[in-house]
Amino acid sequence: MKEDFSLDVIFEQFTQYLEKNKLRKTPERFAVIKKVFQTEGFFEIEQLYNALKTDYRVSLATVYNTIEHMIQANLVIKHQFPGNSSKYEKHFNKQNHYYLICTKCGSIKEFSDLKIKNLIKMKSFTTFEPGYHSLNLFGLCSKCNPKSKKKINSINAETKKTTK
Amino acid sequence: MKEDFSLDVIFEQFTQYLEKNKLRKTPERFAVIKKVFQTEGFFEIEQLYNALKTDYRVSLATVYNTIEHMIQANLVIKHQFPGNSSKYEKHFNKQNHYYLICTKCGSIKEFSDLKIKNLIKMKSFTTFEPGYHSLNLFGLCSKCNPKSKKKINSINAETKKTTK
DNA sequence: TTTGTTGCAAAACGTTTGCAGCCTC
DNA sequence: GAGGCTGCAAACGTTTTGCAACAAA
């Protein structure tokens, strides 16, 4: 799930959000954003906080606060998968999110599918304005599936191939 | 999202699960199940616990414990929508779950779409065995959408119509 | 100067755990 | 009878909150 972005553009987008909402441009906020966009894949708050602490003085409360703003500004997505703590993910512009979640071991694997994506995007509603969507397929991963000694009759095995 | 079920069948399915796993058939467990299947829509543990307490002596721990077994037995689904506490839903046999979630007010509305459902069900994976899926569309509900004084150009407004 | 934002620590909250006694099997 | 299950209360881990000091506007 590669994305093109430069920190400048991100900062710009966030600055606009801050100004629009009459919020202050504090160094802490930009430090958090920078770290988030340097992080690959999911991250948890505690993780991010620890990473930040090493070269910057921030409090947990500020990290939570800033992430919340980033969500509002459409720069971060919050996932609440099975497990104790929420997972977050950077989210440059609108994107969609497809996951295979193992109901036994909890492992999460991303996949993508253009046909599904387009079909969902086509759909419109009378009173709801869709932004992004996320699709979770719950099931058993290869490790947890008893009858999986390599499944052969896959019609279209396109995990991690269809992207972009 | 109406479902046909009788408590007997549910009890039967759960009993099978218990026996298969060498677990005991305690009255508490059946009291929890009964209450769950008498509940419409989502519920939270605290809610369920309070409802049960009025006419039965159960502990919170037992409620959590039993719900966990019901999930394993495929009788309950756990949702972790934005918000503090998990939401649960009875789940008789395999079903899928489609929601419109307002990113502003957090309201959740169910919808369904046969085309999407079928397309997703068609998909197969080399190393993953899908069970059920859930699709979350995040966006703005009518109340929170500034430019929604009744949207007219909806191509196919089929919320709550496609459900079988 | 004003007032939003910060760090800190305490509190809150949902959920999990330990344990003695109970009850299914 | 043995061992899984219960209720209870304490513990846990994440997230939120209150507040005085600080700093962006």
3-state SS track over A23-69: CCCCHHHHHHHHHHHHCCCCECHHHHHHHHHHHCCCCHHHHHHHHHH
pLDDT at B4 (0 to 100): 60
User: In this structure, what token pair is assigned to residue A69?
Assistant: 């703003």
Instruction: Write the Ramachandran bin of B113: left for phi over 0, alpha for psi from -120 to 50, otherwise beta.
Output: beta
B164 compared with B68, residue with greater pLDDT: B68
What number of other Cβ atoms are within 10 A of residue B78's Cβ?
A: 16
Q: A46, A13 in Cβ contact below 8 A?
A: no
User: In this structure, what token pair is assigned to residue A159?
Assistant: 């995990």
Mean pLDDT of A52-72: 96
Residue B109, pLDDT > 70, answer yes
pLDDT at A23 (0 to 100): 97
Cβ pair B138:A134 closer than 8 A = yes
- Facing residue for A116 by CB, picked from B81, B111, B120: B120
Residue B89, pLDDT > 80, answer yes
- Give the residue with minimal CA–C1' separation from C22: B26
pLDDT at A2 (0 to 100): 53
Number of cross-chain residue pairs from A and B with Cβ atoms under 8 Å apart? 141
Q: What angle do CA A77, A82, A83 make, to 5 degrees?
A: 95
**CA–C1' span, A66 to C2, in Å?**
23
Amino acid at B151: K
Query: Tell me: the pLDDT tens digits for B28-46?
Result: 999 999 999 999 999 999 9
Distance CA A160, CA A110 (A): 7
- Facing residue for B124 by CB, picked from A116, A123, A154: A154
Residue B95, pLDDT > 70, answer yes
- Give the residue with minimal CA–C1' separation from C24: B24
What number of other Cβ atoms are within 10 A of residue B161's Cβ?
A: 10
**CA–C1' span, B62 to D6, in Å?**
7
As a whole number, the mean pLDDT across chain B is 87
Pairing of strands A97-102, A128-141: parallel
Residue B73, pLDDT > 90, answer yes
Q: Which of A128, A140, A142, A145 to mutate to test the interface with B (most CBs of B within 10 A)?
A: A128
Cβ pair A139:B131 closer than 8 A = yes
Query: Tell me: the pLDDT tens digits for A83-131?
Result: 889 999 999 867 789 999 998 888 999 999 999 999 999 999 999 999 9
Instruction: Write the Ramachandran bin of B86: left for phi over 0, alpha for psi from -120 to 50, otherwise beta.
Output: beta
For tokens 């689904």, name the residue: B77
